[in-house]
Structure 1
Amino acid sequence: KSKAAIAVLNNLQLKDQHTTDGFQSNLAMLYQQIGKLEDGEGIYLKLENSLKTFSDNPYYAGVLDNLGLLYIQMNKLDKVESYFAKAATVYKSKSQTGYAKVLNDLGNFYRMQERYTEAEQKLNESLTIRAAALDVNHPDYVKSEEDLGILYWKKGDFAKANNFLQSAMNKSLEFVSRFFPPMSEAEKTKYWDVLQPRFQRFFNYCIDAKSTNPAIVNDMYNFQIVTKGLLLNSTNKIKQSILSSGNAELINEYTSWLDKKETLARYYSLSKADLTDQKIDLASLEQEANNLEKSLSQRSSDFSQGYSNDKITFDQIAALLGDTEAIVELIRIKDFKKDFTTDSKYAALILTKNSHEPRLVVLDNGSQLETRYAKFYRNAIQQKIADPYSYDQFWARIEPELTNKKTIYVSPDGVYNQINLNTLKKTNGDFVINRYDLALIGNSKDLIGLKKEKQLAAKKDAFLLGFPNYGGATIAALPGTKTEIEGVSKILKVSGYQVSVAEQNDATESKIKSIKGSSLVHIATHGYFLQDAESAVGVTADNAKNNPLLRSGLLLAGASKTMSGEVLPNLESNDNGILTAYEAMNLNLNGTNLIVLSACETGLGDIRDGEGVYGLQRAFIVAGAKTLVMSLWKVDDAATQALMTNFYNNLSKGFSRLKAFKQAQQQLMLKYKEPYYWGAFVMVGM
């Protein structure tokens, strides 16, 4: 989108010089955003030269300030101070808010240069001006508070740092409560992209401050659980609010919005030329859907109450734990020194029964975990060879805090979404699966709902889909899924389930889209996730590259003809044989307790810090599924059939979903020792 905006700006023919300068400045900022710093510098320097005759104009000062910030990015540090100083001279008599901004920028630059006395003077002056000219709850004032907090942190004055940083953090949560309600999900995502780095910096501060202020870990935990999965939770909250409102008009409007998204899903399969030929304005339709979503968000029963009334703290969660239970809340943290670096670290926050404070374990080699060790783990799994590293790297440093614990609730983040902890094996020891009962949850606070959940007699209706007729040789047939579906169906029927089965030509996209509240859904077919943003299946690459939900999905009846180009996109049908995660998100799975995606790599997707996996996993959770079983790597057919048979047999005996699944994996281990066979699937939820 940035590149498209650049093309538009470059082609604009503007007669008014002031407007032209404004667009050129925006173009320079876009170049900065996409890393074309030299291109941005060239435009700014031209603007500086052309605006010199208006040297007392705040707009000229803004260009100078932006050049100073750009030179920090370019590491041309000898140029920075003079540009900030010139900008400050212009702003001082023309704009107090502009003057405060450049003072703040200069103060941050001094802090990065370890010129702490000068930094403190500039940052305090900026804070004072902003307090008078704006308001102590204005985002710019809050930024000044945070920047002063960072300065005192880097000076080693943790007490002063804490006062400023805590204030900035609490006000940032208030911003979420205030600004999120009228936003669409896309707008919330953009806003959170701006705000989330503040929380990342705070987590870095907590790690440094813990030695002098152990209680800071409490705040670290509390801020993590209120923000982890923030975007996913807001989407689910609004959906539930609408569907339970009893407001027929609002529910109809929600249905209309889903229809618009379904229409967009069809249009995403068209090329730019096709869209032009059929006079379809995709951007306009996306904006219509966005506006309708904003309206729905605003009208659903006060989403913001979810934050004012839902201040859950670590001690409330710790009080729910049994003697042999623990929670491991994982946080991926971008390393912050003078600024963010390219490195990362992981914090494991561990709670046990009635903990007075969480225990903190820092895994400071996050970048290695995400590259070298994640790659080795995957290779060892695929090649079925011994793995002497993964246990030590991903689990051994956390385990000492779990002494005498059996049930461990794990809330993963970052690379921990890509590995199955149960498959880690201690050298000369046993697999994690044989030592603990692990339960994956999205957020520690989910445990409150799980513990309160009453075990009601579930509806016994199931929808099973497998062995699709793909309609050609482009996609390999999966006869093993026919055996799998027949076996699962037999077990469920004996257990008293009403079972609906879709196979061969009936195993269609439209059949899945017609599911309404089946308590159990089992889908056995090919799944996919395309890491390459230039790739796509069933949609055009242009549309898919910016949306991971269009790069993951399930292949169903007729998919081969779509993929080979034998069948062209049909705007009258929502069934091209490819169910993308974007479409799956619109399914109605309210009332679905368990969904099993018995397909390859259904647990993969783009990983976003604090938000989990953007792919089928996110899609089916948004659609309403309580518990999800999915795979992390390409699965063996025979092993998968055996695993699923074991799982459903265990469920039929009255075991919980979690216990039935774990025992199914352990039963499979008796035949297949390597984790490749028994460890491909993970269960999210309980």
Structure 2
Amino acid sequence: MTMMNSFEKLQELYKKGDYISFYTLYKALEKPLDDEVLLLAIKLARSASEWLDIEDILIQLKKSVNIQSVEKSKLCYEFYDFVRKKLNRKESEIILEKCFRVISNSTDSDLVFYAKKIQIKTRLILLHQGLLNAEEKRKVIEDGLNLYEKYKEINQCESLSFLEILVDYIGKHPIPDLKFGLEIIEKIIQDNSIKNYNKISFYLKKARFLLRTKYYLEIRNPIELPNEIKEILSFLEENKYLPATEIIESVYGNHLLDLELIEGIEFLENNILKLWQLGYHQEARNDYNNALRWMQDRGQGKLLKEFSQKINLPKKVNKTILEAELEMLHKSHDFHISGDYYNAGETLEKIISNIENETFQVLFIGTLVNNTSQRSIKNIKEIKIIDSKIKDLNEVGKTFLIAQLYAFMAMLDKKQSKKYFINSGKMYENLGMIQESLEQYQNYINQKLIEFNENKKLSTIDGVPKDLKKIISFFDADHWIKNRYSLQGNLCQVSGNLSLYIKQFEIAIESFEAASNLYLKANHLNSFALNTHRLGSIYLELGRKNQNINDYEKGNKVLSEGISISKKSKLNNFIWRLQFIYALTYIEPLARKLVSPNDVLLYVKNGEKCLDQIAFYLDGMIHKANQTNSSENLEATITFKDDTRQIISSGTHFFQSRGNYTKAIEWLEKMRTRSLLISMTNYKLNNDELKKHPLLLQENNIISHLYEENLNEFQEYSQNDLDKLYQKMLNDKITNEYAAIKRLTKLSITNLKESIRNNEKKLDGQKLFFLYYFIEKDNIYVYGISSQVEKILFSKVPIKTSDLEDYLSTFYLNINLSKTKDYNPGETFWTRFSDLIAPLKEWTQPDDIICIVPYGKLQNLPLHSLHIDGKPLIYRNPVFYNISLSTWQYIQFKNTIFSNFKSVGLFGNPEYNLENAEEEVLSLVRLFKKEALFGKNVTKKTFLKALKADDFIHFAGHGDLDKGHGFLSGLKLNDGVLTAKEIMNQRANTNFVTLASCDVGRQKNHSGEELVGLTSAFIASGVNTVMTGLWEVDDADAKEFFSIFYKKLLEGFPKVIAMQQAMLALMEISGKSHFCHWAMFSLTGDWR
């Protein structure tokens, strides 16, 4: 076959869509290939997005003897390099300038046509990416059509290919014009001078445009192609277009998804692999990704799993920079919708500054803003980023990117959010982006309602009915709106919120019920779940208001049905909220005594079951977000638990009000400090032999399925499997300790009491007693746990939380002042709030060892300084603290006993500004007869080395308190601050750490009772006992305290008794009676 015949054959194969045969023939041709063959090959390679093939072809084309072909190859290379790597304005200017030079200097009409095509295509891409003023679109299209008319007689084939591109962009945003696009398509189809195989691509475009202009509302029988689409398919088949059925059904399937019809998934599913086999790899990937994204965004978890199991396309090896950036954006989005905000934020922060594509930059900013709002992080940095980008894009003019940035700014700047939402909506509307404009108009109305709810001024919502009417008019208009049902559901929600705020509850319920029906019609399970939560909450409010069990029962029914449907969803950070509202429909009627005596047991049983499911589900989210580093695990969990305090309170009150104090404590332990405990137990996974053990792999498999399905039956089945697996692990020498630890994460009061008894065997007649606090709203409760009393002891403290909060606002300031002026003892903390520990007088004997487990506002307080019988508690009893009962029990399981300073790490005065601290450590050098490190030798490296090697560490130096999240609290070393975050990620072998530093014992208490600070960091790293300062430590007091404390330890006293003896000795020194001198240290962890 001659080269000329080969070109004609290749052209025919290309037009008829036979990519496989094209490649086969192309690769069989002898080189060098004709320029026209190479240019045709570029088209096909471009269609398949096989960028490496294009580079190879362009290299061949550059070697052409034809100067025009060489120039074409250069322009083509620049264009595709721009499209795949550098999609920004700066790079586009370079390409446009090169095209202009070619147009100005060349006399070859074909080359000039080629340069003008690239010029116009570049401008069209900029328009679609929001990087060129949308008002220029009409001019760009006109220039393109004029170019087509000028060259169609010279080179019909190339001109038609260019016209295809123009038609594509006519139908795209900004300012899409589907009817105009159809007019152009019809002219080509009716033109008898154009061969049928040159019309194929226009028939394909007709299918897309026709569906959006005629079938934009609904399709009566979505499983069958409409008649006009069937006619297009017949034309394609008659003209032997190879992938006719696959492409048409792909177009139709994607259209069904835009109409929110689930049947679209089946059409795509049936054709993706067929398209792949026909060589249409890019089309197959596009359909695959579109289907995945549609199912993920709507929470169609079950369908998504089935789809993924049936279709598994090969991963694209040679990704372009833009494809890699888009993949990262999708990855962070997936983390976000699954509730893993920490990983989403990390992914975004790592790459956002290096993104080449300006449009992607805005998309990444949007995801970062969503992530910031979920993580409750200060948003100053994000506001500056958006401001800067808006100023930059103002140079472009009319662009949807500014509309997006306005919407993002509205989420951050609450004071001006209405202005930003309305500006965003108007911009989108002017650009013909109806779906986006409707979303912003609805956000604008919602913000009005939020403000009305805050200020109760009717003037705030005066214009809302008019606003709603405008939005409704969009749906009445004769045009295409993507995701129509979901948007109408959102509108019903807005209307429902308005009715709620003006106390029209029945109308509000009707609106939310209508929204639920629309979301189900749209197959949008995520929105349905959110709406069900709102609807259930309304019934709860009515139940509370009316004191009527019928309202609770209606809410129960709505939530039961909603949960059943929503379990197919993958909205992992939300389903537990539905479960919680559902639980309240059982708990509240019981508390309000609305349940008939015959139904009480049923309500109690169902309430307990709901609470167990909530705890189980939240635990699953922690497991799912489990990071390599403990600090990341903790931060991920904090973001999950930002609003779980109400769940903790409701569950505890439920059991407490029924007198079931054992279950109340076990519930609290299920919910509090979960991630910290998981971090403590995961240290074992650093063992490679354990990590790769078959039983560990089996555990990972069960856990991943356990929290993926969201089905009660599956959860119970898998949980039983997990319990059996841990039992099996106990019999394996490699996994037995790991399994035992995992079982300890589920606290049992029975097992706890057994641990207490084992501890008491080491005592000389004393008892070990746990004082366990819980705060609910303005009430403080305390539980007592003893090995001597079968039941859990319980008392309500006669102190209001609000009174305590008022005092604590200046507590640490007053402590520091008390060192310089006399205070009336009656006015001090130690007597005013002594009722917090008053039950100990009845519950314990003098000399019993007391372990205090604080809660909420009681964290960081020297409760051992409170008075009992007119004297500080520490005078009567040795006292130590623990973060939770579970962490204490875990420390007992480790069973590592302090070895009395056999291996010691002493660190002092790292910044050369604390002479007394250096003297303090020197006294310990003399006491222990060990060496110490000072000044420049106190570094992160030496400290962390000691943490792995020494049994005991004493640090005397400055501390740094992070009042924000707590992760940045740390020790000021010579080479910088060693933060809690860094310490938490270590695997320590140290048993006991003393920090003679100011404030470092204070911790940030997050929702879910997740504590973050140096104490929890050392405990998480594996340290058994931590002694820390709660406020600014006086050097002389510290020196005296440690002198006595360590001498007592060397004499064989347990740490908790040695601390008591040191405090009592300080108390007796003249001028040291105020607790600011002797109560500044707290002991957390193991008392022994």
- Pair in the same fold by TM > 0.5: yes
What is the 5 A alignment of 1:208-607? 209=657, 213-214=658-659, 216-243=660-687, 245-247=689-691, 310-319=745-754, 320-321=756-757, 322=760, 324-333=767-776, 335=777, 344-363=778-797, 365-372=800-807, 375=810, 379=814, 382-383=817-818, 384-388=822-826, 390-391=830-831, 393-394=833-834, 395-404=836-845, 406-426=848-868, 429-451=870-892, 453=895, 455=897, 457=899, 460-470=902-912, 477-493=913-929, 499-515=930-946, 516-531=948-963, 547-550=965-968, 552-557=969-974, 575=975, 577-588=976-987, 590-607=988-1005
Of residues 574, 579, 584, the one that matches 1:142 is 579
Task: State the TM-score, normalizing by the size of structure 1.
Answer: 0.73
Residue 609 of structure 1 deviates from its aligned partner by: 4.9
Aligned to 1:152: 589
Instruction: Work out whether residues 318 and 354 of structure 1, in 8 Å CA contact, stay in contact via their aligned partners in 2.
Output: no
Instruction: Work out whether residues 679 and 1020 of structure 2, in 8 Å CA contact, stay in contact via their aligned partners in 1.
Output: yes
Residue 365 of structure 1 deviates from its aligned partner by: 0.8
Deviations 1:607-661 (A, max 9, x none): 2355364222222222332211111111111111111122222222222222222
Task: State the TM-score, normalizing by the size of structure 2.
Answer: 0.48
User: Which deviates more, 350-359 or 80-89?
Assistant: 80-89
CA, structure 1 residues 27+397, in 2 after alignment: closer, same or farther (shift >3 Å)?
A: farther
CA distance in 2, matches of 1:169, 1:43: 43
CA distance in 1, matches of 2:537, 2:689: 47
Aligned to 1:167: 609
Q: Which has the higher contact order (CA 8 A, sep 6+)?
A: 1
Aligned to 2:543: 111
Residue 91 of structure 1 pairs with residue 527 of structure 2 = no
CA, structure 1 residues 95+78, in 2 after alignment: closer, same or farther (shift >3 Å)?
A: same
Residue 59 of structure 1 pairs with residue 487 of structure 2 = yes
User: Which deviates more, 502-511 or 454-463?
Assistant: 454-463
What is the 5 A alignment of 1:191-202? 191-202=640-651
CA distance in 1, matches of 2:944, 2:517: 61
Which AA in structure 1 matches 2:772?
E
Instruction: Work out whether residues 1027 and 1081 of structure 2, in 8 Å CA contact, stay in contact via their aligned partners in 1.
Output: yes
CA, structure 1 residues 27+93, in 2 after alignment: closer, same or farther (shift >3 Å)?
A: closer
Which AA in structure 1 matches 2:767?
T
DSSP 3-state at the match of 1:113:
helix
DSSP 3-state at the match of 1:357:
coil
CA distance in 2, matches of 1:88, 1:685: 52
CA distance in 2, matches of 1:385, 1:117: 55
Instruction: Work out whether residues 181 and 304 of structure 1, in 8 Å CA contact, stay in contact via their aligned partners in 2.
Output: no
User: Which deviates more, 400-409 or 411-420?
Assistant: 400-409
Residue 411 of structure 1 deviates from its aligned partner by: 1.0
User: Which deviates more, 646-655 or 53-62?
Assistant: 53-62
Greater strand content: 1
Which AA in structure 2 matches 1:170?
D
Instruction: Work out whether residues 600 and 634 of structure 1, in 8 Å CA contact, stay in contact via their aligned partners in 2.
Output: yes
DSSP 3-state at the match of 1:142:
helix
Residue 435 of structure 1 deviates from its aligned partner by: 0.4
Greater helix content: 2
CA distance in 1, matches of 2:1001, 2:844: 30
CA, structure 1 residues 459+523, in 2 after alignment: closer, same or farther (shift >3 Å)?
A: closer
Residue 123 of structure 1 pairs with residue 555 of structure 2 = yes
CA, structure 1 residues 392+58, in 2 after alignment: closer, same or farther (shift >3 Å)?
A: same
Which AA in structure 1 matches 2:982?
E
CA distance in 2, matches of 1:25, 1:489: 69
Instruction: Work out whether residues 584 and 623 of structure 1, in 8 Å CA contact, stay in contact via their aligned partners in 2.
Output: yes
Which AA in structure 1 matches 2:434?
Q
Residue 371 of structure 1 deviates from its aligned partner by: 2.1
Instruction: Work out whether residues 417 and 612 of structure 1, in 8 Å CA contact, stay in contact via their aligned partners in 2.
Output: no
User: Which deviates more, 304-313 or 221-230?
Assistant: 304-313
Aligned to 2:1006: 608
Residue 677 of structure 1 pairs with residue 1077 of structure 2 = yes
Which AA in structure 1 matches 2:514?
T
Which AA in structure 2 matches 1:684?
T
CA, structure 1 residues 553+164, in 2 after alignment: closer, same or farther (shift >3 Å)?
A: same
CA, structure 1 residues 489+229, in 2 after alignment: closer, same or farther (shift >3 Å)?
A: same
CA distance in 2, matches of 1:500, 1:25: 69
Residue 675 of structure 1 deviates from its aligned partner by: 1.6
CA, structure 1 residues 47+602, in 2 after alignment: closer, same or farther (shift >3 Å)?
A: farther
Aligned to 2:76: none
Deviations 1:37-93 (A, max 9, x none): 689989998874443244993433334435655887xxx452555333223235347
Radius of gyration: which is bigger? 2
CA distance in 1, matches of 2:957, 2:512: 61
Instruction: Work out whether residues 901 and 928 of structure 2, in 8 Å CA contact, stay in contact via their aligned partners in 1.
Output: no
Instruction: Work out whether residues 775 and 781 of structure 2, in 8 Å CA contact, stay in contact via their aligned partners in 1.
Output: yes
CA distance in 2, matches of 1:57, 1:83: 19
CA, structure 1 residues 60+307, in 2 after alignment: closer, same or farther (shift >3 Å)?
A: farther
Instruction: Work out whether residues 496 and 511 of structure 2, in 8 Å CA contact, stay in contact via their aligned partners in 1.
Output: no
Which AA in structure 1 matches 2:949?
G
CA distance in 1, matches of 2:511, 2:641: 33
Residue 26 of structure 1 deviates from its aligned partner by: 7.0
CA distance in 2, matches of 1:188, 1:301: 26
Residue 484 of structure 1 deviates from its aligned partner by: 0.7
Residue 78 of structure 1 pairs with residue 520 of structure 2 = no
CA, structure 1 residues 468+174, in 2 after alignment: closer, same or farther (shift >3 Å)?
A: closer
CA distance in 1, matches of 2:467, 2:876: 65
Instruction: Work out whether residues 231 and 611 of structure 1, in 8 Å CA contact, stay in contact via their aligned partners in 2.
Output: no
Deviations 1:156-190 (A, max 9, x none): 14735423321111111221343322204233222
Which AA in structure 1 matches 2:579?
V
CA, structure 1 residues 669+71, in 2 after alignment: closer, same or farther (shift >3 Å)?
A: farther
Q: Where does the alignment leave 5 or more consecutive residues of structure 1 unmatched?
A: 250-299, 336-343, 471-476, 494-498, 534-546, 558-574
Residue 635 of structure 1 pairs with residue 1033 of structure 2 = yes
Residue 432 of structure 1 deviates from its aligned partner by: 1.0
Residue 644 of structure 1 pairs with residue 1042 of structure 2 = yes
Instruction: Work out whether residues 24 and 43 of structure 1, in 8 Å CA contact, stay in contact via their aligned partners in 2.
Output: no
CA distance in 2, matches of 1:382, 1:500: 36
Aligned to 2:412: none
Residue 306 of structure 1 deviates from its aligned partner by: 6.6
DSSP 3-state at the match of 1:408:
strand
Instruction: Work out whether residues 648 and 1008 of structure 2, in 8 Å CA contact, stay in contact via their aligned partners in 1.
Output: no
DSSP 3-state at the match of 2:871:
coil
DSSP 3-state at the match of 1:633:
coil
Of residues 1043, 1056, 1065, the one that matches 1:658 is 1056
DSSP 3-state at the match of 1:522:
strand
Instruction: Work out whether residues 420 and 680 of structure 1, in 8 Å CA contact, stay in contact via their aligned partners in 2.
Output: yes
Instruction: Work out whether residues 956 and 997 of structure 2, in 8 Å CA contact, stay in contact via their aligned partners in 1.
Output: yes
DSSP 3-state at the match of 2:867:
coil
